[in-house]
Chain A
Amino acid sequence: MQHMEFKVKWGMVIDLDKCTGCGACSIACRAENNIPPMQDASNKLRTTDWMNIYELSNGKKFPDLEIAYLPRPCMQCGNPSCSTVCPVVATTKDEEGGIVSQVYPRCIGCRYCMAACPYHARYFNWFDPIWPEGMEKTLTPYVSARPRGVVEKCTFCHHRFNAAKEQARANGADPLDLPEDAYIPACAEACPTGAIVFGNLKNPEHRVAKLAASKYAFRLLARLGTDPQVYYYSKRDWVRQLGDNYLQKELKGGEHV
Protein backbone atom coordinates (compact mmCIF):
# COMPACT_ATOMS: atom_id res chain seq x y z
CA MET A 1 0.00 0.00 0.00
CA GLN A 2 1.11 3.52 -0.81
CA HIS A 3 2.64 5.40 2.08
CA MET A 4 0.57 8.56 2.38
CA GLU A 5 2.20 11.84 3.24
CA PHE A 6 0.33 14.57 5.03
CA LYS A 7 0.98 18.25 5.57
CA VAL A 8 -0.07 17.84 9.18
CA LYS A 9 0.95 14.81 11.23
CA TRP A 10 -0.53 14.69 14.70
CA GLY A 11 1.94 13.13 17.03
CA MET A 12 2.58 12.43 20.65
CA VAL A 13 5.74 12.28 22.69
CA ILE A 14 5.46 10.49 26.01
CA ASP A 15 8.24 11.20 28.48
CA LEU A 16 8.72 7.92 30.33
CA ASP A 17 10.97 9.62 32.88
CA LYS A 18 8.07 11.84 33.87
CA CYS A 19 5.38 9.15 33.78
CA THR A 20 4.53 7.87 37.25
CA GLY A 21 2.07 5.25 36.02
CA CYS A 22 -0.78 6.93 37.88
CA GLY A 23 -3.34 5.97 35.24
CA ALA A 24 -4.96 9.40 34.91
CA CYS A 25 -4.52 9.27 31.11
CA SER A 26 -6.23 5.92 30.93
CA ILE A 27 -9.18 7.06 33.04
CA ALA A 28 -9.52 10.37 31.18
CA CYS A 29 -9.56 8.37 27.95
CA ARG A 30 -12.29 6.05 29.18
CA ALA A 31 -14.48 8.95 30.26
CA GLU A 32 -13.87 10.93 27.08
CA ASN A 33 -14.36 8.11 24.63
CA ASN A 34 -17.43 6.40 26.11
CA ILE A 35 -15.70 3.19 27.09
CA PRO A 36 -18.35 1.44 29.17
CA PRO A 37 -17.65 0.39 32.76
CA MET A 38 -17.31 -3.36 33.24
CA GLN A 39 -19.00 -5.48 35.87
CA ASP A 40 -16.09 -7.84 35.99
CA ALA A 41 -12.79 -6.69 34.55
CA SER A 42 -10.71 -9.57 35.87
CA ASN A 43 -10.22 -11.21 32.48
CA LYS A 44 -7.74 -8.89 30.80
CA LEU A 45 -8.29 -10.56 27.43
CA ARG A 46 -11.80 -9.13 27.46
CA THR A 47 -11.24 -5.60 28.79
CA THR A 48 -10.84 -2.40 26.80
CA ASP A 49 -8.20 0.24 27.49
CA TRP A 50 -7.47 2.53 24.57
CA MET A 51 -4.67 3.97 26.66
CA ASN A 52 -3.12 0.94 28.31
CA ILE A 53 -0.24 1.24 30.74
CA TYR A 54 2.58 -1.28 30.81
CA GLU A 55 5.14 -1.68 33.55
CA LEU A 56 8.76 -1.90 32.50
CA SER A 57 11.57 -3.10 34.70
CA ASN A 58 15.32 -3.22 34.23
CA GLY A 59 15.19 -6.73 35.70
CA LYS A 60 17.79 -6.06 38.37
CA LYS A 61 17.60 -6.76 42.08
CA PHE A 62 17.21 -4.10 44.75
CA PRO A 63 18.90 -1.62 45.16
CA ASP A 64 19.57 -1.48 41.41
CA LEU A 65 15.97 -2.19 40.48
CA GLU A 66 14.32 0.46 38.36
CA ILE A 67 10.75 0.69 37.15
CA ALA A 68 9.22 2.69 34.34
CA TYR A 69 5.67 2.91 33.08
CA LEU A 70 4.74 2.98 29.43
CA PRO A 71 1.33 4.33 28.40
CA ARG A 72 0.32 2.87 25.06
CA PRO A 73 -2.26 4.63 22.86
CA CYS A 74 -2.77 3.74 19.19
CA MET A 75 0.52 4.52 17.45
CA GLN A 76 -1.28 5.97 14.38
CA CYS A 77 1.34 4.23 12.23
CA GLY A 78 2.54 5.73 8.99
CA ASN A 79 2.38 2.21 7.57
CA PRO A 80 -0.52 0.75 9.49
CA SER A 81 -0.59 -3.02 9.73
CA CYS A 82 -4.28 -2.92 10.61
CA SER A 83 -5.76 -1.01 7.69
CA THR A 84 -3.98 -3.09 5.06
CA VAL A 85 -5.57 -6.32 6.32
CA CYS A 86 -9.09 -4.99 6.89
CA PRO A 87 -11.35 -6.77 4.38
CA VAL A 88 -14.12 -4.15 4.54
CA VAL A 89 -12.12 -0.88 4.60
CA ALA A 90 -13.41 -0.07 8.08
CA THR A 91 -10.04 1.31 9.10
CA THR A 92 -7.97 3.65 6.94
CA LYS A 93 -5.23 6.21 7.18
CA ASP A 94 -6.33 8.76 4.62
CA GLU A 95 -7.23 11.94 6.46
CA GLU A 96 -5.07 15.02 6.78
CA GLY A 97 -3.40 14.72 10.18
CA GLY A 98 -2.58 11.04 9.75
CA ILE A 99 -4.98 9.63 12.35
CA VAL A 100 -5.95 6.04 11.60
CA SER A 101 -9.73 5.98 11.38
CA GLN A 102 -12.10 3.29 12.59
CA VAL A 103 -15.69 3.26 11.35
CA TYR A 104 -17.69 1.04 13.69
CA PRO A 105 -20.81 0.36 11.60
CA ARG A 106 -18.57 -0.85 8.82
CA CYS A 107 -16.52 -3.20 11.00
CA ILE A 108 -17.58 -6.84 10.75
CA GLY A 109 -15.62 -7.93 13.81
CA CYS A 110 -13.26 -10.33 12.02
CA ARG A 111 -10.36 -9.06 14.17
CA TYR A 112 -7.73 -9.40 11.44
CA CYS A 113 -6.59 -5.93 12.47
CA MET A 114 -6.11 -7.05 16.05
CA ALA A 115 -3.95 -9.91 14.88
CA ALA A 116 -1.97 -7.56 12.64
CA CYS A 117 -1.38 -4.73 15.10
CA PRO A 118 2.00 -5.29 16.74
CA TYR A 119 1.10 -2.91 19.58
CA HIS A 120 -2.10 -4.60 20.82
CA ALA A 121 -3.75 -1.23 20.45
CA ARG A 122 -7.03 -2.62 19.18
CA TYR A 123 -9.88 -3.99 21.24
CA PHE A 124 -12.85 -6.14 20.44
CA ASN A 125 -16.22 -5.48 22.04
CA TRP A 126 -17.07 -8.80 23.64
CA PHE A 127 -20.07 -7.41 25.49
CA ASP A 128 -22.93 -5.00 24.99
CA PRO A 129 -21.93 -1.59 26.31
CA ILE A 130 -24.03 -0.95 29.41
CA TRP A 131 -23.96 2.18 31.49
CA PRO A 132 -25.53 1.78 34.93
CA GLU A 133 -28.52 4.06 35.42
CA GLY A 134 -27.39 7.64 35.88
CA MET A 135 -23.98 7.03 34.33
CA GLU A 136 -25.36 7.54 30.84
CA LYS A 137 -25.25 11.24 31.69
CA THR A 138 -21.47 11.05 31.53
CA LEU A 139 -21.50 10.00 27.87
CA THR A 140 -19.59 12.25 25.49
CA PRO A 141 -22.04 13.23 22.74
CA TYR A 142 -19.26 13.74 20.19
CA VAL A 143 -18.04 10.14 20.38
CA SER A 144 -20.30 7.37 19.16
CA ALA A 145 -20.72 4.36 21.41
CA ARG A 146 -19.74 1.01 19.96
CA PRO A 147 -21.96 -2.04 19.88
CA ARG A 148 -20.88 -5.56 20.74
CA GLY A 149 -19.01 -7.28 17.95
CA VAL A 150 -16.84 -4.51 16.54
CA VAL A 151 -13.23 -3.46 17.03
CA GLU A 152 -12.25 -0.10 18.44
CA LYS A 153 -9.08 1.79 19.23
CA CYS A 154 -7.65 5.14 20.27
CA THR A 155 -8.37 7.90 17.74
CA PHE A 156 -6.23 10.64 19.32
CA CYS A 157 -9.62 12.02 20.48
CA HIS A 158 -10.48 12.81 16.89
CA HIS A 159 -13.65 14.67 17.91
CA ARG A 160 -11.43 17.23 19.63
CA PHE A 161 -9.62 17.72 16.32
CA ASN A 162 -12.99 18.41 14.71
CA ALA A 163 -13.90 20.84 17.48
CA ALA A 164 -10.57 22.65 17.12
CA LYS A 165 -11.14 22.98 13.37
CA GLU A 166 -14.60 24.45 14.01
CA GLN A 167 -13.16 26.92 16.51
CA ALA A 168 -10.50 27.92 13.98
CA ARG A 169 -13.14 28.48 11.31
CA ALA A 170 -15.20 30.57 13.74
CA ASN A 171 -12.11 32.68 14.39
CA GLY A 172 -11.46 33.01 10.67
CA ALA A 173 -8.21 31.05 10.97
CA ASP A 174 -6.90 28.19 8.86
CA PRO A 175 -8.30 24.92 10.28
CA LEU A 176 -5.25 23.01 9.09
CA ASP A 177 -2.76 25.33 10.74
CA LEU A 178 -3.88 24.96 14.33
CA PRO A 179 -1.82 26.69 17.01
CA GLU A 180 -0.06 24.49 19.54
CA ASP A 181 -2.43 23.09 22.19
CA ALA A 182 -5.56 24.15 20.24
CA TYR A 183 -6.11 20.42 19.87
CA ILE A 184 -4.91 17.92 22.45
CA PRO A 185 -6.37 14.54 23.39
CA ALA A 186 -7.91 13.87 26.80
CA CYS A 187 -4.90 11.85 28.00
CA ALA A 188 -2.44 14.66 27.34
CA GLU A 189 -4.76 17.10 29.06
CA ALA A 190 -5.18 14.90 32.12
CA CYS A 191 -1.54 13.91 32.65
CA PRO A 192 -0.56 15.49 35.99
CA THR A 193 3.18 15.45 35.30
CA GLY A 194 2.94 16.74 31.75
CA ALA A 195 4.57 13.59 30.43
CA ILE A 196 2.35 13.51 27.34
CA VAL A 197 3.07 16.22 24.78
CA PHE A 198 0.87 16.49 21.72
CA GLY A 199 1.07 18.50 18.53
CA ASN A 200 1.94 18.59 14.85
CA LEU A 201 5.12 16.62 14.13
CA LYS A 202 5.52 18.52 10.86
CA ASN A 203 5.54 21.93 12.54
CA PRO A 204 9.06 22.61 13.85
CA GLU A 205 7.65 25.18 16.26
CA HIS A 206 5.63 22.56 18.11
CA ARG A 207 7.20 20.96 21.17
CA VAL A 208 6.48 17.44 19.89
CA ALA A 209 8.57 18.03 16.80
CA LYS A 210 11.52 19.15 18.91
CA LEU A 211 11.19 16.30 21.39
CA ALA A 212 10.74 13.68 18.67
CA ALA A 213 13.98 14.84 17.06
CA SER A 214 15.89 14.36 20.31
CA LYS A 215 18.42 11.56 20.61
CA TYR A 216 16.51 10.34 23.65
CA ALA A 217 13.35 9.81 21.62
CA PHE A 218 12.44 6.39 20.28
CA ARG A 219 9.48 4.54 18.88
CA LEU A 220 8.08 1.15 19.81
CA LEU A 221 9.22 -1.70 17.59
CA ALA A 222 10.68 0.81 15.16
CA ARG A 223 12.41 -1.96 13.25
CA LEU A 224 9.10 -3.28 11.98
CA GLY A 225 8.87 -0.19 9.78
CA THR A 226 5.41 0.80 10.98
CA ASP A 227 6.54 4.43 11.28
CA PRO A 228 4.44 5.34 14.35
CA GLN A 229 3.33 8.88 15.11
CA VAL A 230 3.77 8.21 18.82
CA TYR A 231 7.25 8.74 20.22
CA TYR A 232 8.61 7.87 23.63
CA TYR A 233 11.31 9.76 25.42
CA SER A 234 13.68 8.58 28.11
CA LYS A 235 17.18 9.43 29.16
CA ARG A 236 17.57 5.95 30.65
CA ASP A 237 19.29 3.56 28.26
CA TRP A 238 17.55 0.43 29.51
CA VAL A 239 14.14 1.99 28.90
CA ARG A 240 15.05 2.85 25.31
CA GLN A 241 16.40 -0.65 24.80
CA LEU A 242 13.04 -2.11 25.81
CA GLY A 243 11.39 -0.17 23.03
CA ASP A 244 12.39 -2.83 20.55
CA ASN A 245 13.46 -6.46 20.47
CA TYR A 246 17.20 -6.76 20.60
CA LEU A 247 19.37 -9.80 20.59
CA GLN A 248 21.58 -10.37 23.63
CA LYS A 249 24.75 -9.49 21.75
CA GLU A 250 23.64 -6.26 20.12
CA LEU A 251 22.74 -4.34 23.21
CA LYS A 252 24.60 -1.27 22.01
CA GLY A 253 22.76 -1.13 18.72
CA GLY A 254 19.34 0.05 17.78
CA GLU A 255 19.90 0.55 14.07
CA HIS A 256 19.47 -2.06 11.36
CA VAL A 257 22.27 -4.52 10.86
Chain B
Amino acid sequence: MANSKSSVVLPFLVGVVASLVLGWWAFPKVLYSQKTQPIRFDHVVHVEDQAMTCDQCHTFRENGSFAGLPTTQSCADCHSDVQGEDPEEERFVTEYVQQGKEVEWLVYQYQPDNVYFSHIAHKDIECTKCHLDVANMKNPPVYYENRISGYSKNTMKMWECERCHAQNGASNACFVCHK
Protein backbone atom coordinates (compact mmCIF):
# COMPACT_ATOMS: atom_id res chain seq x y z
CA MET B 1 0.00 0.00 0.00
CA ALA B 2 2.71 2.47 1.07
CA ASN B 3 4.81 1.41 -1.85
CA SER B 4 2.13 2.09 -4.45
CA LYS B 5 1.44 5.53 -2.92
CA SER B 6 5.08 6.67 -3.22
CA SER B 7 5.24 5.45 -6.78
CA VAL B 8 2.54 8.03 -7.56
CA VAL B 9 3.76 10.87 -5.36
CA LEU B 10 7.44 10.75 -6.28
CA PRO B 11 7.08 11.12 -10.05
CA PHE B 12 4.49 13.81 -9.43
CA LEU B 13 6.88 15.80 -7.22
CA VAL B 14 9.71 15.36 -9.69
CA GLY B 15 7.41 16.61 -12.42
CA VAL B 16 6.35 19.65 -10.40
CA VAL B 17 9.93 20.60 -9.60
CA ALA B 18 10.99 20.10 -13.21
CA SER B 19 8.13 22.27 -14.43
CA LEU B 20 8.94 25.00 -11.92
CA VAL B 21 12.61 25.02 -12.92
CA LEU B 22 11.64 25.10 -16.55
CA GLY B 23 9.04 27.84 -16.16
CA TRP B 24 10.73 30.10 -13.64
CA TRP B 25 14.36 29.70 -14.53
CA ALA B 26 14.90 28.24 -18.01
CA PHE B 27 12.08 29.85 -19.98
CA PRO B 28 12.80 33.47 -18.94
CA LYS B 29 16.45 32.87 -19.86
CA VAL B 30 15.47 31.65 -23.30
CA LEU B 31 12.80 34.29 -23.79
CA TYR B 32 15.10 37.31 -23.57
CA SER B 33 18.08 37.98 -25.75
CA GLN B 34 20.78 40.22 -24.26
CA LYS B 35 22.01 43.30 -26.05
CA THR B 36 24.58 45.94 -25.17
CA GLN B 37 24.50 49.63 -25.98
CA PRO B 38 26.42 50.72 -29.10
CA ILE B 39 28.59 52.97 -26.88
CA ARG B 40 29.44 52.14 -23.28
CA PHE B 41 28.08 55.41 -21.93
CA ASP B 42 29.17 56.25 -18.39
CA HIS B 43 26.50 58.29 -16.56
CA VAL B 44 28.57 58.57 -13.36
CA VAL B 45 31.31 60.61 -15.05
CA HIS B 46 28.72 63.10 -16.19
CA VAL B 47 26.53 63.20 -13.09
CA GLU B 48 29.16 63.05 -10.32
CA ASP B 49 32.40 64.29 -11.85
CA GLN B 50 30.88 66.96 -14.08
CA ALA B 51 27.95 67.68 -11.73
CA MET B 52 25.45 67.64 -14.56
CA THR B 53 21.73 67.27 -13.88
CA CYS B 54 19.40 64.87 -15.72
CA ASP B 55 17.54 67.67 -17.49
CA GLN B 56 20.68 69.12 -19.05
CA CYS B 57 20.67 66.30 -21.59
CA HIS B 58 17.12 64.92 -21.24
CA THR B 59 15.24 68.10 -21.99
CA PHE B 60 11.70 69.27 -22.49
CA ARG B 61 10.95 71.18 -25.67
CA GLU B 62 9.20 74.52 -25.51
CA ASN B 63 5.86 72.95 -26.38
CA GLY B 64 6.08 70.67 -23.35
CA SER B 65 6.98 67.50 -25.24
CA PHE B 66 9.96 65.48 -24.09
CA ALA B 67 13.06 65.29 -26.28
CA GLY B 68 14.20 62.08 -24.59
CA LEU B 69 17.74 61.21 -25.55
CA PRO B 70 20.23 63.90 -26.58
CA THR B 71 21.31 64.09 -30.19
CA THR B 72 24.92 63.61 -31.28
CA GLN B 73 25.02 67.31 -31.95
CA SER B 74 24.12 68.21 -28.39
CA CYS B 75 26.75 65.77 -27.09
CA ALA B 76 29.21 67.46 -29.42
CA ASP B 77 28.74 70.73 -27.54
CA CYS B 78 31.32 69.25 -25.16
CA HIS B 79 32.66 66.29 -27.12
CA SER B 80 33.62 67.97 -30.37
CA ASP B 81 37.06 66.58 -29.61
CA VAL B 82 38.17 63.78 -27.34
CA GLN B 83 38.10 65.06 -23.76
CA GLY B 84 39.45 62.20 -21.65
CA GLU B 85 41.17 58.87 -21.58
CA ASP B 86 38.18 56.61 -22.13
CA PRO B 87 38.54 54.65 -25.41
CA GLU B 88 34.73 54.56 -25.73
CA GLU B 89 34.61 58.34 -25.78
CA GLU B 90 37.21 58.38 -28.51
CA ARG B 91 35.15 55.87 -30.46
CA PHE B 92 32.08 58.07 -30.01
CA VAL B 93 33.91 61.12 -31.31
CA THR B 94 35.47 59.42 -34.33
CA GLU B 95 32.56 57.17 -35.29
CA TYR B 96 29.61 59.42 -34.53
CA VAL B 97 30.53 63.09 -33.98
CA GLN B 98 32.98 63.36 -36.84
CA GLN B 99 30.70 61.35 -39.15
CA GLY B 100 27.62 63.30 -38.11
CA LYS B 101 25.82 60.08 -37.19
CA GLU B 102 23.22 59.46 -34.49
CA VAL B 103 23.84 56.72 -31.95
CA GLU B 104 21.23 54.00 -32.08
CA TRP B 105 20.76 53.80 -28.33
CA LEU B 106 18.68 50.98 -26.99
CA VAL B 107 15.82 52.46 -24.97
CA TYR B 108 14.84 50.34 -22.02
CA GLN B 109 11.34 51.77 -21.75
CA TYR B 110 9.95 52.12 -25.29
CA GLN B 111 6.21 51.65 -25.31
CA PRO B 112 4.05 50.23 -28.09
CA ASP B 113 2.77 52.58 -30.77
CA ASN B 114 -0.71 52.83 -29.29
CA VAL B 115 0.54 54.17 -25.97
CA TYR B 116 0.75 57.87 -25.21
CA PHE B 117 2.92 58.97 -22.34
CA SER B 118 3.47 62.57 -21.29
CA HIS B 119 6.70 63.16 -19.40
CA ILE B 120 5.70 66.67 -18.38
CA ALA B 121 2.57 65.38 -16.66
CA HIS B 122 4.82 63.13 -14.54
CA LYS B 123 7.69 65.52 -13.96
CA ASP B 124 7.20 65.72 -10.18
CA ILE B 125 7.79 61.99 -9.86
CA GLU B 126 11.30 60.61 -9.45
CA CYS B 127 12.73 59.42 -12.79
CA THR B 128 13.87 56.18 -11.17
CA LYS B 129 10.29 55.29 -10.24
CA CYS B 130 9.96 54.08 -13.85
CA HIS B 131 13.47 54.20 -15.30
CA LEU B 132 16.52 52.18 -14.31
CA ASP B 133 18.78 54.17 -12.01
CA VAL B 134 21.37 54.70 -14.73
CA ALA B 135 22.65 57.91 -13.13
CA ASN B 136 24.53 55.75 -10.64
CA MET B 137 25.84 53.26 -13.17
CA LYS B 138 29.27 53.38 -14.72
CA ASN B 139 28.23 50.82 -17.32
CA PRO B 140 24.87 50.84 -19.06
CA PRO B 141 22.70 47.92 -17.94
CA VAL B 142 22.15 44.96 -20.22
CA TYR B 143 19.20 45.40 -22.54
CA TYR B 144 16.90 42.39 -22.45
CA GLU B 145 14.84 42.04 -25.57
CA ASN B 146 11.81 39.80 -25.60
CA ARG B 147 12.36 37.43 -28.51
CA ILE B 148 8.64 37.09 -29.19
CA SER B 149 7.36 40.65 -28.82
CA GLY B 150 10.59 42.55 -29.53
CA TYR B 151 9.99 44.84 -26.55
CA SER B 152 12.43 45.56 -23.75
CA LYS B 153 11.99 43.60 -20.54
CA ASN B 154 11.89 46.92 -18.66
CA THR B 155 9.03 48.35 -20.68
CA MET B 156 6.34 49.20 -18.17
CA LYS B 157 3.26 47.03 -18.20
CA MET B 158 -0.22 48.46 -18.32
CA TRP B 159 -1.09 47.16 -14.85
CA GLU B 160 1.85 49.10 -13.40
CA CYS B 161 0.65 52.35 -14.98
CA GLU B 162 -2.89 51.67 -13.80
CA ARG B 163 -1.88 50.83 -10.26
CA CYS B 164 0.05 54.08 -9.83
CA HIS B 165 -2.79 56.07 -11.40
CA ALA B 166 -5.31 54.44 -9.08
CA GLN B 167 -3.17 55.01 -5.98
CA ASN B 168 -2.67 58.68 -6.85
CA GLY B 169 -6.23 59.37 -7.86
CA ALA B 170 -5.32 59.95 -11.51
CA SER B 171 -7.79 58.91 -14.16
CA ASN B 172 -7.53 55.45 -15.68
CA ALA B 173 -9.69 56.31 -18.67
CA CYS B 174 -8.50 54.60 -21.86
CA PHE B 175 -7.65 57.76 -23.77
CA VAL B 176 -5.49 59.13 -20.94
CA CYS B 177 -2.74 56.72 -22.05
CA HIS B 178 -3.86 55.34 -25.41
CA LYS B 179 -3.86 56.77 -28.86
List residues of chain A with CB under 8 Å of any chain B CB.
92, 94-96, 99, 101, 103-105, 142-145, 155, 158-159, 162-163, 165-171, 175
A166 contacts which of B63, B174, B179 (Cβ < 8 Å)? B63
Q: What 5 A-B pairs have minimum CB-CB distances, sorted nearest first?
A: A170-B64, A166-B64, A95-B173, A101-B175, A94-B173
Q: Assess whether B63 is in contact with A170, with CB atoms less than 8 Å apart.
A: yes
B91 at the interface (CB under 8 A from A): no
B64 contacts which of A103, A159, A167 (Cβ < 8 Å)? A167
Q: Considering the chains assembled together, what is the distance between the CA atoms of A162 and B174 in angstroms?
A: 13
Q: Considering the chains assembled together, what is the distance between the CA atoms of A194 and B121 in angstroms?
A: 33
Q: Considering the chains assembled together, what is the distance between the CA atoms of A159 and B79 in angstroms?
A: 37
Complex A-B: 8 CB contacts under 8 Å: A95-B173, A96-B173, A103-B114, A144-B179, A159-B179, A166-B64, A169-B120, A170-B120
Q: Considering the chains assembled together, what is the distance between the CA atoms of A145 and B174 in angstroms?
A: 17
Residue of A nearest to B119 (CB): A166
Q: Assess whether A95 is in contact with B179, with CB atoms less than 8 Å apart.
A: no
Q: Assess whether B173 is in contact with A158, with CB atoms less than 8 Å apart.
A: no
Known contacts A104-B114, A159-B116, A163-B63: A169-B121 contact under CB 8 Å: yes
Q: Considering the chains assembled together, what is the distance between the CA atoms of A103 and B62 in angstroms?
A: 29
Known contacts A165-B121, A166-B120, A169-B120: A144-B114 contact under CB 8 Å: yes
Known contacts A143-B179, A144-B113, A144-B179: A166-B118 contact under CB 8 Å: yes
Known contacts A94-B174, A95-B174, A143-B179: A166-B114 contact under CB 8 Å: no
Q: Considering the chains assembled together, what is the distance between the CA atoms of A84 and B167 in angstroms?
A: 27
List residues of chain B with CB within 8 A of the CB of A158: 175, 179
Q: Considering the chains assembled together, what is the distance between the CA atoms of A170 and B65 in angstroms?
A: 8
B54 at the interface (CB under 8 A from A): no
List residues of chain A with CB within 8 A of the CB of B118: 162, 165-166, 169
B105 at the interface (CB under 8 A from A): no
Known contacts A92-B174, A94-B173, A99-B175: A166-B113 contact under CB 8 Å: no
List residues of chain A with CB within 8 A of the CB of B120: 166, 169-170
Q: Assess whether A101 is in contact with B173, with CB atoms less than 8 Å apart.
A: yes
Q: Considering the chains assembled together, what is the distance between the CA atoms of A244 and B104 in angstroms?
A: 57
Cβ distance A72 to chain B, nearest Cβ, rounded Å: 21
A167 contacts which of B63, B174, B178 (Cβ < 8 Å)? B63
Q: Considering the chains assembled together, what is the distance between the CA atoms of A163 and B120 in angstroms?
A: 11
Cβ distance B10 to chain A, nearest Cβ, rounded Å: 45
List residues of chain A with CB within 8 A of the CB of B121: 165-166, 169, 175
Cβ distance A159 to chain B, nearest Cβ, rounded Å: 6
B110 at the interface (CB under 8 A from A): no
List residues of chain B with CB within 8 A of the CB of A162: 116, 118, 179
Q: Assess whether B63 is in contact with A103, with CB atoms less than 8 Å apart.
A: no
List residues of chain A with CB within 8 A of the CB of B123: 169
Q: Assess whether A95 is in contact with B116, with CB atoms less than 8 Å apart.
A: no
Q: Considering the chains assembled together, what is the distance between the CA atoms of A168 and B175 in angstroms?
A: 18
B176 at the interface (CB under 8 A from A): yes
Residue of B nearest to A141 (CB): B113
Q: Considering the chains assembled together, what is the distance between the CA atoms of A99 and B175 in angstroms?
A: 8
Known contacts A95-B173, A162-B116: A103-B65 contact under CB 8 Å: no
A92 contacts which of B64, B65, B114, B173 (Cβ < 8 Å)? B173
List residues of chain A with CB within 8 A of the CB of B73: none
Q: Considering the chains assembled together, what is the distance between the CA atoms of A94 and B179 in angstroms?
A: 14
B27 at the interface (CB under 8 A from A): no
Q: Considering the chains assembled together, what is the distance between the CA atoms of A151 and B4 in angstroms?
A: 59
- Chain B residues 91-129 with CB under 8 Å of chain A are 112-114, 116, 118, 120-121, 123
